[in-house]
A and B are shown apart, each in its own frame.
Chain A
Amino acid sequence: MDMWWQGFQLAVGGNNLLFLLIGTVVGLIIGALPGLGPLFAVALMMPLTYGMPPATAIIMLAAVHAACAYGDSLASILVNVPGGVGSVASCWDGFPLAKKGKAAPALGISAGGSLFGGLVGWGSLVMISPVLMNVALKMGPAEYFMLAILALSLLSLSSQGKAIQGLILGGFGMLLAFVGSAPITAFQRMTFGVSYLEDGFPLVPVAVGIFALSQAMVLAEKGGMLAEVRDMVGSVWEGVTSIFKMPYTLIRGSIVGILLGIMPALGLSSANVVAYMTERRASKEPDTFGKGNPAGLLAPEVAKSACIVGDLIPTFTLGIPGSSTTALFLAAMVLHGIQPGAAFFQSGPLPYAIFVGILLAQFAFFILGLLFAKYFAKVVLVPTSILVPIITVLSFVGAFAIRNSILDILLTIVFGVIGFLLTKSKWPAATFVLGFVLADMAESNFHRAMLITGGSFIGLVSSPISIFLAFGIAALLAWPLVGSLRSRSRRQAAA
């Protein structure tokens, strides 16, 4: 309890509350912009945290993340364009509710559901993290290698129906991560004699280019304004209180969100859709889904917010990103000298301060969202001719600020072009970040395990944890094959 109290004092001390508020406002504004989601928001804001104390930085990013995920729903409900990949399912019943003249109650359902999901996710983070920490303490290089391979094998599932493209991008991310010093031997790889590449590709300029700068190019192509905004009639608070009339929806959404949050690599993109499908299947009136059923909006909102916080569980405890956005969190933690895993939880009141900050962030976006949703929604009226230079300037400064290297700006432009090509090709860019982050974990732990076992591969599956992970990998790799065999036999039976 003493640590919790110290953490609370640290979380509310200094400028932390101010930056929590700033992060929430920025997250809501970016979230309200269609197509720009938490990954863009965190990528854009991460370099700005460079000069901050560690607790402040992580609290602000958590606030941006949570607020943006909620803010995405504004675009989904009011404009029928997903604010981000985590809000796709919110369009399906949210927009029909708005068309029926119930935009304000719909926003209330979104706000209330997001708060509920966030609180449940937070509770899971606090309760599950110590348990997972004990497991992490028993893990060695072989287990971490298997865990990284498990996360990589989930890339195909997290690719939203484009499994091969997702795997290609994951592999591409890994190849770029191999540039620089090799593990163990420190041999310079794939630098082509360029001294700039000797330290490898820095994640922040790469991520800012792929997720933020690319969107500036996309918006410049579109021109005009992003969208029109529907008038809001009715009471937002009516929507908030209505969520308690759907207790089973709250429970189902929470479970889906937490489970998909804990699984590495699977995040927002899966949680909201799976929660919607689960809710529709469980409903006594499935035909009403897609036509403005409040449960069809509530389920993905709860799952999304539970997943946002749940993603942090493997990130903080195992150093494995729960999603592409938390991969950026990992980078931010390392930037601020915080090592995930046991070291993080043994660093005094810092983890407790971050937990308190994450909890406060849930209430912050709920209160601000409830009070000012209709004003945040009007951000879609800002012309793209103003948004484009803002995004570009922030991306350039963000890329430069990490290493004070002007060449990092050039790198950001190069990856901005790649991110633009990914957007136009509708490839799942998030899998690139996951491959990039997981590559070093997989490779360095593999070689360490080989050194320990004297080159024996059997050593990789000699402990109960690694055997369990190996079965998981085999099941995930076999899943698409089993699925296609089943659908083929169904087709043959029907023919």
Chain B
Amino acid sequence: MENRIVSKFNYEFALLIIIGGLAVSFFAQTFTYPGTIAGLFPRIVSTIVILMVLFLLVAKFRSKSAASESDEELLDDEEVGTWGKSVSKHALPVMNWKISVLLMLGYFVLIYLIGFGIGTFLYAVAIPLLLQYKNKLVAVVFALVTAVALIVLFGTLFYVPLPQGLIFELLFGG
């Protein structure tokens, strides 16, 4: 038996729960609005969304109970055959999406605390190394160039005031 990649996370189910949950909360809220104008369209649209989400959930439940397979997700042959020399049918995902999100949140916190420039440098160094990029020196230079280029591009060319970071604002004012 081949050693296949498995992912037990059911993406479609998560999506239906998120969208359905939001639609239900919107629907419930509409009954607190004064008059009819504010609540009419949201009520109609949320009702339609809820009904369609329920329809899909029931369809998924029926097809799951009819099938004998578990909800393992395998990489498509197409994807594997065409994408990347280093990704093989038997390799683990290089970076799980939950780790990606945590790192993005970490980057967001860095921007908030120490500013865009340093935050970007740290993030742009970390990601290539975590994604197993072999040349560490190139990764550091790339991160430096990225941070500087974006500060120059946005700060100078596009006049976008990038965040300085809470710590620097407290230390140096402004």
Contacts and interface: CB of A to CB of B under 8 A. Distances in A.
Given A223-B131, A224-B84, A393-B124, A190 B37 contact: no
A81 B83 CA distance: 9
Interface in A165-190: 165, 167-169, 171-172, 174-175, 178, 182-185, 187, 189-190
A223 B87 contact: yes
Interface of B: 11-12, 14-15, 18-19, 22-23, 25-26, 29, 33-35, 37-39, 41-42, 45-46, 48-49, 52-53, 55-56, 79, 82-87, 91, 93-97, 100-101, 104-105, 107-108, 111-112, 116, 120, 123-124, 127-128, 130-133, 139, 142-143, 146, 150, 154, 157-163
B22 to A, nearest CB: 7
Contacts of A213: 104
Nearest to A172: B19
Given A178-B26, A217-B100, A421-B15, A222 B49 contact: no
Given A164-B56, A386-B128, A393-B124, A223 B93 contact: yes
A156 B39 CA distance: 25
Contacts of A164: 52, 55-56
Contact of A178 (B35, B41, B87): B41
Contact of B49 (A171, A225, A416): A171
Contacts of A418: 15, 18
Contacts of B130: 385
B160 A220 contact: no
Given A171-B48, A217-B97, A222-B93, 7 more contacts: A51-B158, A167-B52, A175-B22, A175-B23, A182-B38, A220-B127, A386-B128
Contact of B42 (A81, A189, A400, A446): A189
B53 A168 contact: yes
A401 B100 contact: no
Contact of B97 (A51, A228, A396, A420): A420
Contacts of B142: 386
B124 A401 contact: no
B60 to A, nearest CB: 11
Contacts of A424: 11
> For A401, A416, A421, which residue has the most chain B Cβ atoms within 10 angstroms?
A421
A443 B120 contact: no
A81 B82 contact: yes
Given A221-B97, A223-B94, A421-B11, A385 B132 contact: yes
B14 A421 contact: yes
B108 A172 contact: no
29 contacts: A52-B158, A81-B82, A178-B42, A185-B34, A187-B33, A189-B38, A189-B42, A213-B104, A220-B94, A221-B95, A221-B97, A222-B93, A224-B86, A224-B87, A226-B84, A383-B128, A385-B132, A386-B142, A390-B146, A392-B107, A394-B150, A397-B162, A400-B163, A401-B154, A401-B160, A406-B112, A409-B108, A421-B14, A439-B45
B23 A172 contact: yes
Interface string A295-335: 00000000000000000000000000000000000000000
B109 to A, nearest CB: 10
Contacts of B33: 182, 187, 189
Given A220-B94, A228-B85, A396-B107, A182 B160 contact: no
Interface of A: 34, 48, 50-52, 79-81, 164-165, 167-169, 171-172, 174-175, 178, 182-185, 187, 189-190, 213, 216-217, 220-228, 383-386, 388-390, 392-394, 396-397, 400-401, 404, 406, 409-410, 413, 416-418, 420-422, 424-425, 427, 439, 442-443, 446-447
B158 A220 contact: no
B29 A189 contact: yes
A422 B12 CA distance: 8
B136 to A, nearest CB: 12
Chain A contact residues: helix, strand, loop or mixed: helix
A258 B160 CA distance: 38
A413 B82 contact: no
Contact of B93 (A48, A221, A443): A221
Nearest to B161: A404
Which 5 pairs, one residue from A and one from B, show the smallest C-beta to C-beta distance? A223-B94, A224-B84, A224-B86, A385-B131, A171-B49
Contacts, number: 206
Nearest to A186: B38
A384 B146 contact: no
B154 A389 contact: no
Contacts of B163: 400, 406
Contacts of B38: 182, 185, 187, 189
Contacts of B97: 217, 220-221, 417, 420
Contact of B83 (A174, A222, A404): A222
A183 B39 CA distance: 11
B87 A48 contact: no
Nearest to B12: A425
A394 B107 CA distance: 13
A330 to B, nearest CB: 20
Contacts of B12: 421, 425, 427
Nearest to A425: B12
Contacts of A183: 37
Contacts of A401: 154, 158, 160
Contacts of A221: 93-97, 100
B41 A389 contact: no
Contacts of A417: 97, 101
Contacts of B104: 213, 392, 413, 416
Nearest to A165: B56
